[in-house]
Structure 1
Amino acid sequence: MPRLTSAMTAMLGTQLPILATVTDPTTPNIGPKRSLRAYDESTLIYNENTGGQHLANIESGSRVAVAVIDRAALDGYRFLGHAEVLTEGPAWDNCLEFAEANGMKTPKRAVLIHLDEIFSLASGAKAGTVIDTDASTGEQE
């Protein structure tokens, strides 16, 4: 199971993540998720505030991709995973607290993204390559 590094977590906290889902086998859906952040070492979370196409796609079983890019540094990451939609429990509580702390409305759902793979979006030879992280430290091997 891939693990988030401190650099990945920091980038998610300072740059605007973009979420991608699929509506059907040929129609991608992509959009910013300003609440998307690290939840734990192998999971992302975001507040689903609109209840629109992304949520419908996830509830229909779409896998998800998240891209976060630091343009100035020519660095970034692509996270692939599967999503879980919640309206109670610790993840829901996390989303409620995040909304309150950031002046946002109560979310419609909490969405956890369980990571399956992480890829580099850094400019250069490593672009598009899988990033392996050491399970004990969470840092790139």
Structure 2
Amino acid sequence: MAKLTTDMKDLIDQAFAFIATVDENGNPQVGPKGTMRVLDDTHLIYNEETGRQAWHNLNDNHKIAVAFHPFPGLKGIRVEGKATIYKDGKIFDDSAAYAADKQLPAPLAAVVITVDRIVRLDAGPHAGEEIENSPIVE
């Protein structure tokens, strides 16, 4: 697993997240996830609230990318990894409590993303540089 630094975690806290998934026909999908947050040094988490296209895609193919780019700003990151879906248990219960505390809809599930790869989304000459690539080999 790739590890998020303190600076990356701070950036994630300040940025709005967009996830990218792909359907069974290879069609890409991008959408916002307002509940995206850091779970720990090697995982992100968000509450799945709508159960629509990204949800459908993740149930079929667990690969996901998340882009973080605060505005205004010239630095951002893309995190790539594998999504694991939780519909019950402690992780789900914690996500439901997060939603209640923030006065958000109850989640259909909690989605935990294992951070495998981190790429710079900075403006300028460092755009697209790989920061870390440490996928789990299954």
Which residue number corresponds to residue 125 of structure 2? 125
Encode CA deviations 1:20-64: one digit per residue, 9 max, x unaligned: 100134310110000001111100000000011111101102410
Which deviates more from structure 2 when the two are superposed, residues 1-10 or residues 45-54? 1-10
Letter in 2 for 1:59: N
SS at match of 1:24: coil
Using the aligned pairs only, state the percent identity.
33
Q: Aligned pairs, how many? A: 133
Which residue number corresponds to residue 111 of structure 2? 111
Letter in 1 for 2:49: N
Which residue number corresponds to residue 98 of structure 1? 98
Q: Is the 8 A contact 2:23 2:61 kept in 1?
A: no
Which deviates more from structure 2 when the two are superposed, residues 5-14 or residues 63-72? 5-14
Encode CA deviations 1:90-131: one digit per residue, 9 max, x unaligned: 321221121011110110000001111000111122211111
Which deviates more from structure 2 when the two are superposed, residues 7-16 or residues 30-39? 7-16
Structure 2 residues without counterparts, runs of 5 or longer: 134-138
Which deviates more from structure 2 when the two are superposed, residues 32-41 or residues 94-103? 94-103
Which residue number corresponds to residue 27 of structure 1? 27
Which residue number corresponds to residue 3 of structure 1? 3
Letter in 1 for 2:121: L
Q: CA deviation at 1:89?
A: 2.2
Which residue number corresponds to residue 46 of structure 1? 46
Structure 1 residues without counterparts, runs of 5 or longer: 134-141
Letter in 2 for 1:14: Q
User: So what's the TM-score if we normalise by structure 1?
Assistant: 0.88
Partner Cα distance (1:29, 1:47) in 2: 18
Q: After the TM superposition, which segments of 4 or more aligned residues of structure 1 sit over 4 Å from their partners?
A: none
Letter in 2 for 1:40: D
- Aligned alpha-carbon RMSD (Å): 1.5
SS at match of 1:19: strand
Q: Is the 8 A contact 1:22 1:62 kept in 2?
A: no
SS at match of 1:132: strand
